[in-house]
Amino acid sequence: MAVAGYFVLRSEQEVTQTELNKHRAILTAKHAEITRATGRREGLAIERVPDASDEVQLAAERELTSRGLERDSKLLRNVRAALERIAEDTYGTCLHCEGEISPKRLHAVPWAALCIKCQDVADRNPEPGSAPEAIFLKAA
């Protein structure tokens, strides 16, 4: 890209507008997909059955459904936060160190809030019951 007779090289880390639009589309589709999936909660119904082994099986299925909904809910929050960062023009910036999140990472995990180094630290030092990025958000 030329600016006033000079050539400016784009950083390898910088997210282009084309990439940003692509990520927005992916995130919007993921948001719609998860929203539909979390609306189905029929697996959580508590049924009483005369056979104890059937009751244990149903309880295990409810637990799996509950964990799946919890996972989807967390992912939905992350996707919404990424869409907000796009709207605020902060998408691609690490929430902890404020460095740029690599395009490769954003391609793999479009809702990533932390660069790979900060995510590694957060994954190694999780607080019980919290998302890894919450460690850094509390400190900020």
**Domains within the chain, CATH numbers bracketed:** 15-139 (1.20.120.910)
Which residues, other chains included, contact 43 with Cβ-Cβ below 8 Å and sequence gap of 6+? 61, 62, 64, 65
Q: What is the pLDDT of residues 58-83, one digit of tens each?
A: 888 888 888 888 899 999 999 999 99
| pLDDT at residue number 12 | 47
Selection from 110, 119, 116, 124 nearest residue 23 by Cα? 110
| pLDDT at residue number 138 | 47
Q: What is the pLDDT of residues 7-64, one digit of tens each?
A: 333 444 457 888 889 999 999 999 999 888 776 665 555 666 677 777 788 888 888 8
The burial class, CB within 10 Å (0-12 / 13-18 / 19+), for 101 is buried
At 45, list the tokens: 């119904």
| pLDDT at residue number 6 | 42
The burial class, CB within 10 Å (0-12 / 13-18 / 19+), for 111 is buried
| pLDDT at residue number 65 | 81
CA distance 106 to 135: 21
Q: What is the pTM of this model?
A: 0.67
